[in-house]
Structure 1
Amino acid sequence: VEGRLVGLRRQSERLTAVRLTLFFLGGVGSGAIFITLGAAVWAATFLLFFVPFVVAVVVHRRLERSLRRHEVWLQLKQHQVARMRLDWAVLPLPTVADPPADHPFARDFDLLGARSLHHLLQTAVSHEGSQRLADWLLNPVPDLATTQQRQSQVRELQAKPLFRDKLALNARLLEDKNGGWSGQPLLDWLQQPTVPPQTRPILWLLAGLGLLNLGLLLGNVLAGWGAWWVAPALLYAAIFMLASRRSQSLFKEAWFVETRLRQLTAVFHLLETFHHAGPLAELVAALQTAEKRPSHLLRRISRIAAAAGIQNNPMLWLLLNLFTPWDLYFAYRLDQARQTLAALLPGWLDCWYELEALGSLANFGYLNPATTYPTFVAASSEASCFAATQIAHPLLPETGRVGNDFCIEQVGQLFILTGSNMSGKSSFLRTLGVNLCLAYAGGPVLANTLTTALFRPFAAIRVTDSVVDGFSYFYAEVRRLRALLDALQAPSTLPLFFLIDEIFRGTNNRERLIGSRAYIQALMGQNGVGLIATHDLELVQLADEMPAIANRHFRDEVVAGQMVFDYTLHPGPSPTTNALKIMRLAGLLPEGSGEIWLD
């Protein structure tokens, strides 16, 4: 692609030089010939330069379009490479609405914003397609039928990389100067008031008066009938002026609609003509109905826009409107087209937005062969409701990414996750949460296998204080844990899948331990499953008191004076801590300081 671009740019530069040469020679040369040899020779000479100049302009424009397509194509491929390498600086940052501050997991799982899951997945050009993908990832209450339908559509799209590339290319070509594209201005135009219902009879009346005026005027000129045309002409003018208020912005409206729809021509044409026999067939059916294809309506709008364009020519506009209600007629036609569009365009745009969001998920699976599609099961107290093999975090580089096996046997089970600092506890919590969001959105997950029930995810991983609201860190944490407990106790057919990183870390050790034990006891016996990462090794003893609690841990070791982590999940509680190791390696503790070991 890069080699082809170099060739196209050279051709463009040569054509620019040719155009300038023809323009200069044609202007200066034909002017000199007109002065010296007369008009006849000048006309021949002018044509001799003018025709090649026009041809050069046409060819150059075609070349520029090809150049633009190749530039966009190269950019798309560069973005694909950046997604595989997690090169965030290359990937465009999408703009979507911020989730509510009290969203149950958006901030905790890094779903939106820079270096987020949405940033990695998002290939949509339309703002609405990007927002739809974000909404899917943020959905707190998944629906099985919707999720399975999306998953089947994503599977089909993943197997059609050429279609996805063509759709992305055509969409990228219609980006505005700020990046992206929005259909909202078109939808806003569709909501404008319609022309009055009496417009049609007024059109007939004006058409009749116009013909009468023309006949009487011709009779006066050719046969000397007298000025009988004056009275009908005044009546015509009065009615026309009263009725044409709606048509004053005709050209502006027609140009706006035609321009916006013309931008979508390539996108809609691809959706109209591409054959889908699988789950996508129903989605694109609205664009493939023979009588209601976008291309048909676009041609209709283009004709109206061309007719409305006479407002740019005052003489022609005056001549036509003297004897025909030209503006009013095409304002009426545009309003009819608008009413047709109002019934069809939202569905067409919705289809495109849906395909963009689905395509983002499909592209993730295509670029990551290690992904798989999850299987959904019913939540039960008698069978595994979550089982993953080699599940990993998609926002971690492949070279440093470690997969883990993890299984939740039944609803009501709780895991206490211990391990030293930097061993991978928080990352593992996010790994589970991010992959659940991917699964419920209908996309592939980064695991060898994943079988899961439908859960309501909730996390307390990234809790922050608020100067604006006057919340200390500890109070913010208490509020978050209270919200989690309320969600757990709320009546729902879906169990809660909760993930907590350190309980009550904003207070002293004694009160934290007392509060943590009480909070964990409150979590037990509810409609949910969860994991709690903690440094409080005393909490692992709860597994001896409550059969539904199990311990898991991550470990580390010091090799040649350096701390080494395997990021692998192990059964049981953590045998060591490493805070003193880290402080000693940083020179904050004297040599010989002891390590803390569990009995």
Structure 2
Amino acid sequence: MPNVEPIAYYEEVARARGAEAARADRAARVASWLRLALAAATVGALLRGAPWPGLVAAAGFVAVAWWHRRTVERADVARRRAAAARGGRARAARHWAEMPAVRAVAPADGWPAALARDLDVTSGRCLTRLVDVVHPAVGGRRLLDWLLGDPPAVETIRDRQASVAALRERPALLVEIVADARHGDAPATAGGLAAVRAWCEAGESRVAWLPRALSVACVLAAVVAFVLGGASAVERVAAPLLVVQLALAAAARRRLQRELPRVDAALPQIAGVVRVLASLHRATDVAGRLGGIQRRLRAEHAVSSLAALARLLAWNETRRSPMAHWALNAAGGFDVHLAHAFSRWRRDAGPRAAAWLDLAADAEALVALATLAFENPRWTMPAVRNEPAPPLDARGLAHPLLAADVAVPNDAALAAPGDVAVVSGANMAGKTTFLRAIGLNVLLAQAGGPVCADDMVVRRSRVRSSVRVDDDLGRGASLFLAEATRLRDVIRDAEDGGAPVLFLFDEILHGTNAADRLAATRVVLRRLARAGAAGVVTTHDPAVGEVGDGAGAELNAPRQLHFAGSVRRDAGGGLALVFDYRVREGPAREANARQVLEMLGIA
């Protein structure tokens, strides 16, 4: 379904699925009243001594109950898909207040946490709000690792891109998956899935057959007694058989309680993951990484195996109805057979289950990136290359978090290793937004996703940033020391022989005086250039971009860029700041601090 306008598509899906849910709700109400009437008819027929009419009414009750259940399920599916469409429309239009409530996934410590904070990946109006369409502990966790971790091999990135590019053309499949993963009853949690993994990986060297054999023998003994001696014979053996059954069931229940305390709580989560994998299992193969996942899921019967685990966990919920649970154990040793089934499942499928959950995480992460691509049709798939590609060459690059009619595109280029762009300009002119736009788009590109640019080529690089750095009173670290420590960490990474570094520094070393800032900045940039790193530095002081001190042999002359602004008098005689947010060549020549103070009534 190419060239689909996402907002219009989502509006139509929300309307159609909302109407379908309303129709299903009306049918469910009819079925509910009909079921009640048939139940009353069944009881009335039996009380009048009319077994055949009662049997017919009972059969009708069963049929209507089945219809009622299917109708309720159909209404639930329609509501979830309508909710998925409404969420998609809000994301596509950047209506942040209408987006579903955020489900936070914390980044790992170290550089992932620093990048997440510096580049608005995980808090407030952030990137994860635009890709929060899958289970947070499954695809959400995996996608955050892709975005904030060091980049994989270029071949891996291209494999992901192939899947994202193909999936963005299949919005119906995306809505189906997002409806189950984002709008289901219970999102998967890290604790629940960790418990499932641990239980599966514990293995099952053998399955105990004796308890089950004894339980079956008790049932057969009762049947034989009834056949040979009638009800009186059953009464004579009932007590010892009941004692044996309940003893076996109690032992089995103790084992289940010992082994399934947290796995049992993961039932809704496992069920949600199974629904997502089932959608991918039914769908025709997608190019790239996702196609490989689909083929492996089918070859290993992963969906049916995980669905079987979900059914066992659902049966285990019977213990929450004490009377029914006791009756099932007394009649047939229910817990004995349930424990046996869990043991068999873990022996047969447990060793592969962790790998299946990993496949589910990759699949959901790709679905999230493809959904982002579909909801932003102007975005393009970038080219990520190894050296000697330029560190960055982007045309029409804009900030991914801004609506298309608000974002102002600019070009961004770093032609060679060691290149530095120094961006100066007045307050609020757009320097930091430009810096974050570069950072977010590079993170998306290296995760395998689309970018908010007309065209983009990026060298495979580790992104390192210094944007939001604070002092730390508890550790006795001043703002300057905190900044210098962050810069030291960037230099260490650039010099460690790993993938090249792309650095993004906002107001570098602003915690010290102008003279020290200029000298220290030159030292930092020389070290980074010598290591082959490239990057962008924003500043209020264009002198930062002057190499000086004979550094030209080691440091390419920084490219000076700036954002301009103007000050105008409004009709009432007050001052108004005007910006066009267009990046221009050369250093900034004007500032606006005094005008801002005047606007605020200070100067």
Q: TM-score interval w.r.t. the shorter chain?
A: 0.7 to 0.9
Pairing 1:482-497 to 2, within 5 Å after superposition: 482-488=488-494, 490-497=495-502
Classify the secondary structure of the residue corresponding to 1:155. helix
Aligned 8 A contact 1:130 1:356 in 2: yes
Identify if the C-alpha distance between structure 1 residues 369 and 306 changes in structure 2 by more than 3 Å, giving closer, same or farther: closer
Identify if the C-alpha distance between structure 1 residues 313 and 70 changes in structure 2 by more than 3 Å, giving closer, same or farther: closer
Rounded Cα–Cα distance in structure 2 between residues aligned with 1:301 and 1:361: 28
Instruction: Please tell me whether residue 580 in structure 1 is matched to residue 589 in structure 2.
Output: no
Aligned 8 A contact 1:125 1:180 in 2: no
Aligned to 1:391: 397
Aligned residue among 552, 560, 566 for 2:580: 566
Aligned residue among 76, 81, 84 for 2:89: 81
Identify if the C-alpha distance between structure 1 residues 268 and 469 changes in structure 2 by more than 3 Å, giving closer, same or farther: same
Aligned to 2:348: 340
| Aligned residues between the structures | 565
Aligned residue among 529, 537, 550 for 1:532: 537
Rounded Cα–Cα distance in structure 2 between residues aligned with 1:240 and 1:9: 47
**TM-score by structure 1 length?**
0.80
Aligned 8 A contact 1:552 1:571 in 2: yes
Aligned residue among 288, 293, 308 for 1:283: 293
- Residues 493-546 of structure 1: CA deviation (Å, up to 9, x unaligned): 422111111122122334334433444444443321112111123334327963
Q: How far 1:178 moved relative to its partner?
A: 9.1
Rounded Cα–Cα distance in structure 2 between residues aligned with 1:274 and 1:3: 22
Instruction: Please tell me whether residue 128 in structure 1 is matched to residue 124 in structure 2.
Output: no
Q: How far 1:439 moved relative to its partner?
A: 0.5
Instruction: Please tell me whether residue 505 in structure 1 is matched to residue 507 in structure 2.
Output: no
The letter of the residue matching 1:428 is F
Q: How far 1:70 moved relative to its partner?
A: 1.9
Pairing 1:426-437 to 2, within 5 Å after superposition: 426-437=432-443
Q: How far 1:76 moved relative to its partner?
A: 0.7
Instruction: Please tell me whether residue 194 in structure 1 is matched to residue 199 in structure 2.
Output: no
- Residues 332-373 of structure 1: CA deviation (Å, up to 9, x unaligned): 443122122213322332222211111111111111122111
Classify the secondary structure of the residue corresponding to 2:465. strand
Q: How far 1:577 moved relative to its partner?
A: 1.7
Q: How far 1:440 moved relative to its partner?
A: 0.4
Classify the secondary structure of the residue corresponding to 1:484. helix
Identify if the C-alpha distance between structure 1 residues 116 and 514 changes in structure 2 by more than 3 Å, giving closer, same or farther: same
The letter of the residue matching 2:520 is G
Q: How far 1:447 moved relative to its partner?
A: 0.6
Q: How far 1:430 moved relative to its partner?
A: 0.8
Pairing 1:180-579 to 2, within 5 Å after superposition: 183-192=193-202, 194=204, 197=206, 199-200=208-209, 202=210, 245-246=251-252, 248-249=254-255, 265-276=274-285, 278-279=287-288, 280-289=290-299, 292-295=301-304, 298=307, 312=324, 314=326, 317-318=329-330, 320=332, 331-380=339-388, 384-488=390-494, 490-542=495-547, 546=552, 547-561=556-570, 562-579=576-593
Identify if the C-alpha distance between structure 1 residues 275 and 423 changes in structure 2 by more than 3 Å, giving closer, same or farther: same
Classify the secondary structure of the residue corresponding to 1:399. coil
Q: How far 1:459 moved relative to its partner?
A: 0.8
Q: How far 1:209 moved relative to its partner?
A: 8.6
- Residues 457-514 of structure 1: CA deviation (Å, up to 9, x unaligned): 11111111234434332222222122222223x2224221111111221223343344
Rounded Cα–Cα distance in structure 2 between residues aligned with 1:471 and 1:538: 27
Rounded Cα–Cα distance in structure 2 between residues aligned with 1:12 and 1:478: 62
Classify the secondary structure of the residue corresponding to 1:417. strand
Q: Could you tell which deviates more after superposition, 46-55 or 213-222?
A: 213-222
Q: How far 1:120 moved relative to its partner?
A: 1.3
Classify the secondary structure of the residue corresponding to 1:569. strand
Rounded Cα–Cα distance in structure 2 between residues aligned with 1:525 and 1:472: 28
Classify the secondary structure of the residue corresponding to 1:398. coil
Identify if the C-alpha distance between structure 1 residues 415 and 2 changes in structure 2 by more than 3 Å, giving closer, same or farther: closer
Aligned 8 A contact 1:69 1:173 in 2: no
The letter of the residue matching 1:573 is P
Classify the secondary structure of the residue corresponding to 2:508. coil
Identify if the C-alpha distance between structure 1 residues 464 and 190 changes in structure 2 by more than 3 Å, giving closer, same or farther: same
Aligned to 2:18: 5
Runs of 5+ unmatched residues, structure 2: 1-13, 231-236, 571-575
Aligned 8 A contact 1:99 1:106 in 2: no
Aligned 8 A contact 1:82 1:90 in 2: yes
Aligned to 1:225: none
Rounded Cα–Cα distance in structure 2 between residues aligned with 1:355 and 1:363: 12
Classify the secondary structure of the residue corresponding to 1:156. helix
Aligned 8 A contact 1:206 1:240 in 2: no
The letter of the residue matching 1:505 is H
Classify the secondary structure of the residue corresponding to 1:407. strand
- Residues 51-74 of structure 1: CA deviation (Å, up to 9, x unaligned): 776665544433322222222111
Identify if the C-alpha distance between structure 1 residues 240 and 539 changes in structure 2 by more than 3 Å, giving closer, same or farther: closer
Rounded Cα–Cα distance in structure 2 between residues aligned with 1:556 and 1:215: 92
Runs of 5+ unmatched residues, structure 1: 223-228, 590-599
Q: Could you tell which deviates more after superposition, 181-190 or 400-409?
A: 181-190
Classify the secondary structure of the residue corresponding to 1:100. coil
Classify the secondary structure of the residue corresponding to 2:178. helix
Rounded Cα–Cα distance in structure 1 between residues aligned with 2:498 and 2:169: 35
Rounded Cα–Cα distance in structure 1 between residues aligned with 2:183 and 2:406: 36
Classify the secondary structure of the residue corresponding to 1:555. strand
Aligned 8 A contact 1:118 1:133 in 2: no
Q: How far 1:448 moved relative to its partner?
A: 0.7
Rounded Cα–Cα distance in structure 2 between residues aligned with 1:358 and 1:22: 44
Aligned 8 A contact 1:308 1:327 in 2: no
The letter of the residue matching 1:416 is V
Classify the secondary structure of the residue corresponding to 1:400. coil
How big is the alpha-carbon RMSD for the aligned residues of Structure 1 and Structure 2? 4.4
The letter of the residue matching 1:440 is Q
Q: How far 1:401 moved relative to its partner?
A: 0.8
Classify the secondary structure of the residue corresponding to 1:451. strand
Rounded Cα–Cα distance in structure 2 between residues aligned with 1:287 and 1:270: 11
Classify the secondary structure of the residue corresponding to 1:89. helix
Aligned to 1:112: 122
**TM-score by structure 2 length?**
0.79
Q: How far 1:393 moved relative to its partner?
A: 0.7
User: Considering only CA atoms, is the larger Rg found in Structure 1 or Structure 2?
Assistant: 1
Classify the secondary structure of the residue corresponding to 2:349. helix
Rounded Cα–Cα distance in structure 1 between residues aligned with 2:317 and 2:82: 39
- Residues 154-186 of structure 1: CA deviation (Å, up to 9, x unaligned): 112222222222222233464318999953343
Identify if the C-alpha distance between structure 1 residues 466 and 6 changes in structure 2 by more than 3 Å, giving closer, same or farther: same
Q: How far 1:190 moved relative to its partner?
A: 1.9
Identify if the C-alpha distance between structure 1 residues 214 and 493 changes in structure 2 by more than 3 Å, giving closer, same or farther: closer
Identify if the C-alpha distance between structure 1 residues 436 and 320 changes in structure 2 by more than 3 Å, giving closer, same or farther: closer
Identify if the C-alpha distance between structure 1 residues 257 and 400 changes in structure 2 by more than 3 Å, giving closer, same or farther: closer
- Residues 296-346 of structure 1: CA deviation (Å, up to 9, x unaligned): 67459859987997994656644656xxxx865663443122122213322
